[in-house]
Structure 1
Amino acid sequence: MNKIVKKLEIKNKLGLHARAAALLVQTVNKFTAQVSFSKDGQVVDGRSIMGVLMLAATQGSKIQVEATGDDAERAVRAVEKLVNSKFNENG
């Protein structure tokens, strides 16, 4: 079973607000891998919008994504692409 860990920087101006968190969870839900996010020692389930919001990740924050499973690498790549696209926002 594959385990992938990657640190990402939140680049969009509004950080992980409700819409961005929903997009993140929707992306994770496309995969079977178990995905979690962490920031400052707090770990949350990647399939929980409330959990992702609880990270309170603002612009410039570093989060860690960890995925375990057969499609873990693809899941992390998809999350990384979404984060790097600033959640398709202008800011």
Structure 2
Amino acid sequence: MAHSIRETPRGLALNLVLTLRGGLHSRPAARLAKAARRYTSDIRCISETGEADAKSMLDLLSLAPAANSQLILLANGDDARAALLDLGGLLADMQE
């Protein structure tokens, strides 16, 4: 999967489509939050229902994005590009 990271006034952004059949439920949200906590950058997840701290499973669950939802991962910090590449790949590879 090719990732197209773009610069925004708030940091680097990665647009993607959530392909999980059940949407972003507890198990994938926990995996995403755990992976996001490895980075020092501020990482946000934005959906049509709002915005959440990607390092918090509960924040991610509050978005309740359904399957095939458009998401934006937004990162600001020294390791922002690496974080977006890693997290975008993780979401693309999840099969749950």
Q: Give the secondary structure class of the aligned counterpart of 1:32.
A: coil
Percent identity, aligned pairs only, is 25
Two-structure CA RMSD over aligned residues (Å) = 1.5
SS at match of 1:13: coil
1:70 to 50, 55, 78: 78
- 2:31 counterpart residue number: 23
Conservation of the 8 A alpha-carbon contact between 2:14 and 2:72:
yes
Give 3-state SS (helix, strand or coil) of 1:30's partner.
coil
Name which of 29, 33, 40 aligns with 1:32: 40
| Consecutive aligned runs of 4 or more in structure 1 exceeding 6 Å deviation | none
The superposition leaves residues 14-60 of structure 1 with CA deviations (integer Å, 9 ceiling, x where unpaired) of: 11000000000011011101000111151111111111011111110
TM-score by structure 2 length? 0.84
> Which runs of 5 or more structure 2 residues have no equivalent in the other structure?
1-9
Judge conservation of contact 2:23–2:65 (CA < 8 Å) in 1. yes
1:59 to 45, 52, 67: 67
- Structure 1 residue runs without a partner (length 5+): none
1:79 maps to 87
Residue 35 of structure 2 aligns to a residue whose secondary structure is: helix
Q: SS in structure 2 opposite 1:7?
A: strand
TM-score by length of 1: 0.88
* Alpha-carbon distance, 1:3 to partner: 2.3
